[in-house]
Every structure is written in C-alpha cells, then in structure tokens.
Copies of this chain bind each other. A is one copy, B any other.
Amino acid sequence: MTSVALVSACLDKIEAENDQLKAWQFVDRDAALARAAEMDKRRDHGKPLGRLHGIPVGIKDIIDTKDMPTGLGSAVLKDRSASADAAVIERLLEEGAVILGKTVTTPFAFLDAAETRHPINPAHSPGGSSSGSAAAVAAGHVPIAIGSQTNGSTIRPASYCGTYAMKPTSGLISRRGVLQTSQTLDQVGIFAATLEDLALVSDCLGSYDPADQASLAAPRPHCAQDMADAPPVEPNFVWLNMPYFDRLAADAREGLMELVDALGGQVEQIDAEHSFKGLVEAHKIIQDYEIARNLDWVLRDHGDAISEKLKATLEHGQTISDEAYGEALGFRTDSITYFETFYRDFDAILAPSAPGEAPQFGSTGDPIFSTIWTLCGLPCVTLPLLVSETGLPIGAQLIGGREEDGRLLRTARWMQEHLSQMTENEGD
C-alpha cells in the first residue's frame, strides 16, 4: 500500500465526516498528499525510511506547525501563525510521518468544551482538552494523533472515545512549541489504534531537548523493543482505593472490579495513603498558579473572548502566594520520591481512566482520575476494555514507574492478552 493511497483514504473520510464530528480544525489536503508522494518516492528510490513511514498523523491545535495555523482552540486566534515547528513535529517528520492537519482542542487546552462531538453518540462529549485527537483516532480518521495532558486531557478523552492512549513519563518528550499552560504539569500525550502503535510513537517522539527545561538528558525507554518480549514473570498489579472514588460511576466501578477479579492473584488491593487527597489540591495550586502567569497575555489581550471559567481561574491563579505554590511543588517532589520505590513490588497500578462513560455534549468531563499520575509525571496508558450501561466505551488505566514506559506497555499487553484469553475460554 502506498502512503498516497492511505493518506487519500483518511482525507476522504475526514472530508465526509468532519462537518458532523468536528474533530479537525484545519486540514491541508494538498500538502499532505505531496508529503505522502515524497515518502512513496523515497521508498521507490531505496532511500532510508522512518519508523512512521508514510503514516498519517493528526496534531492537537496547541502544538505549533510552521506550515499550518495553530489557533490554540480560540476563535480570536484561529489564524495564529507559528514561526517554527514544535519539537514533536520535527521528530514526526524525521520518522517519515505525514501530518494531515490540526485537531480541535478546547480553548487554551482548558476545561471549556470544544465543538467536537463524540464519535459514537453525537449527543455526548469526546472529553477534552485533546477532544479532536481522541475523536479522530476513535473515528478511524487517522491511526495516530498527538495531544497533551496537564491534568487528564489525553487519558480521559481516550477513555470516553474508546481508543488507546498514553502519556509517557514527563521529561521524555520535548514540549518546545506546545502552548505552555503549566511548565510543571504539561505533558505530551499520544492516541493510537493499538498498544504497539503507542510504543512506536512514544519511541519516535522521545528526545533530549534542553529548550524544554524538564527534558531529561538521559537515555529514553525502548518501548517497542520492551513490548516485543514477554514479561519475565506474570506481572503484579495494585488497585489503590482512592479517597475520591465516590466520583466513579457504578458501571465503571463494576467493570473495573470485574477486571480485578479476572486478574485474580495478580492484583493486590490496598488503600491509598491519606496524603493522596492532598496531592489533588497540590496539583490545583500548581496548575492555577502557573496558568495564570503563562496565560496572563490572554487575560490582558483577549479577556473578552475567553470563558468566565477560564477568566476566573486566571484571576484566581494570580492570587496564589509564592509560599503556597512552593509548598505544593515540595509536596509533588515528595510524591515523586514515594513512587520511586513503589514499583519494586508492582508492575503497574490498575485504575479508572475516567469517572465513567462520556458526559453529555457541552462538558469535557472530570479529570480527577489522572490528576495524581500527571502531577508525578508517571507514565499512563488507557485501554478501551469496558462498556457502559448505555453502550459507550470506558477505559481502564495502567500507571507505571518513571522512565519505565516500556515495562508499562509490556504489562498492558500482557493484561490485554490475558483477559482476551479468559474471554475466549469462557466462550468455549
């Protein structure tokens, strides 16, 4: 199959469905087909091919692209032009990917809903803030899309839309050229149709880049390679009973408990430390403090064009004291240290990806089930394993140790295969 054929098919599907789905903010058909033809030519001429050779990709519209507008989800900035590609775009180009266009994001990647519809039931929301990336992959418009997560903006919409997604360890993927809302919390996320694709894209995007102050000057995980091997022993999971589990819907809880049962002796259930509740508060202080400073220009220049909710957050953030912020940062550091030894006993935490099925259109849903993992920069993956009472997808989340993204994906694959084998056996 040629890249031109694959890209054309994706473009046709987008053209047919985007008026309804509104997953795409901007698509450059001609540029995508030209790039696909160039990739096909490289193959014909025996030139080196990348790991994403000829594969179409969608990009969340808070990620800078020099050849396409990057509107940050804001109506007033929709023609905004970035002077340079983001680091992740450089990596995608180096790997031979074909960038089809920009996917819809909530305004400034904040909580206000975007116009994107749920790919299965348009009365529902795809979640946010990476609304378009999640919907585009779930709808089969592209096999891969890039998003971001500052609280639950990758894992949550993937759970709602029924696709796979991953947020790698913080510091592995450079955020240069991604709208900065929180230098401490912002992280790049990946949506894909399979776990294998998540591993591949994660490997491709990881790169040391001192332009991102959090970028690790150290070797990256080898996710694809790690995933190719079977785990040395059957992995151990932990189910942490969290203080905010009252926000989990009954059907989601039931489904997750069935997973826990199915994994049997491989799962240990323990109560989370009491301090975990404080982590959610620490996340909020850091996010509000930093977004208020990073987006002060939005309040100043476009104060009339933003939602009351965003405006209130930006104004509130300005009132947070440096002391309260410093204390929250210290709490985060302690938690990162806590999790450093946690994964000696467990391969992954099994947890909800979201509170339940996708909410009604107009909401982006509750990010609470991602907050702590995002705060600590732990790698997370969501698998579309469950179904709600109304037939919508619900994800199951696995969380691994820092820089152990490969081990996390290997564990996720093992779990998926183990569960599917059990289902087959039941069918016998």
Interface residues of A (CB under 8 A from B): 42, 46-51, 53, 84-85, 90-91, 93-96, 207-210, 217-222, 403-404, 406
Contact = CB atoms under 8 A, between A and B. Distances in A.
Contacts of A217: 90, 93-94
Contacts of A53: 219
Contact of A96 (B96, B218, B222): B218
A179 B168 CA distance: 35
A218 B94 contact: yes
Nearest to A219: B50
Contacts of A219: 42, 47-51, 53, 94-96
22 contacts: A42-B219, A46-B404, A47-B404, A48-B220, A48-B403, A48-B406, A50-B218, A50-B219, A53-B219, A85-B210, A90-B208, A90-B210, A90-B217, A91-B208, A93-B217, A93-B218, A94-B207, A94-B208, A94-B218, A95-B219, A96-B218, A96-B219
Contacts of A47: 218-219, 403-404
User: Does more than half of chain A's interface fall in helix, strand or loop, or is it mixed?
Assistant: loop
Copies of this subunit: 2
Nearest to A49: B219
Contacts of A85: 210
Nearest to A209: B90
Contacts of A48: 218-222, 403, 406
Contacts of A93: 208, 217-218
Nearest to A53: B219
Q: Which of A84, A210, A404 has the most CB of B within 10 A?
A: A210
Contacts of A42: 218-219
Which 5 residue pairs of A and B lie closest in terms of their CB atoms, listed nearest first?
A: A50-B219, A94-B208, A48-B221, A93-B217, A96-B219
A46 B403 CA distance: 10
Contact of A220 (B46, B94, B406): B94
A344 B2 CA distance: 23
Contacts of A51: 219
A20 to B, nearest CB: 34
Nearest to A66: B210
Contacts of A209: 90
A383 to B, nearest CB: 23
Contact of A210 (B84, B95, B222): B84
A42 B220 CA distance: 12
A210 B93 CA distance: 11
Q: Which of A53, A90, A94, A207 has the most CB of B within 10 A?
A: A94
Contacts of A50: 218-220
A282 B19 CA distance: 56
A339 to B, nearest CB: 14
A184 to B, nearest CB: 22
A335 to B, nearest CB: 19
A5 to B, nearest CB: 20
Contacts of A207: 94, 207
Contacts of A210: 84-85, 90
A406 B93 CA distance: 20
Given A47-B219, A84-B210, A96-B219, 4 more contacts: A50-B219, A53-B219, A94-B219, A96-B218
Nearest to A91: B208
A47 B401 CA distance: 10
A207 to B, nearest CB: 7
Contacts of A222: 48
A82 B209 CA distance: 17
Nearest to A217: B93
Contacts of A49: 219
A263 B96 CA distance: 37
A85 B220 CA distance: 19
Contacts of A218: 42, 47-48, 50, 93-94, 96
A48 B199 CA distance: 14
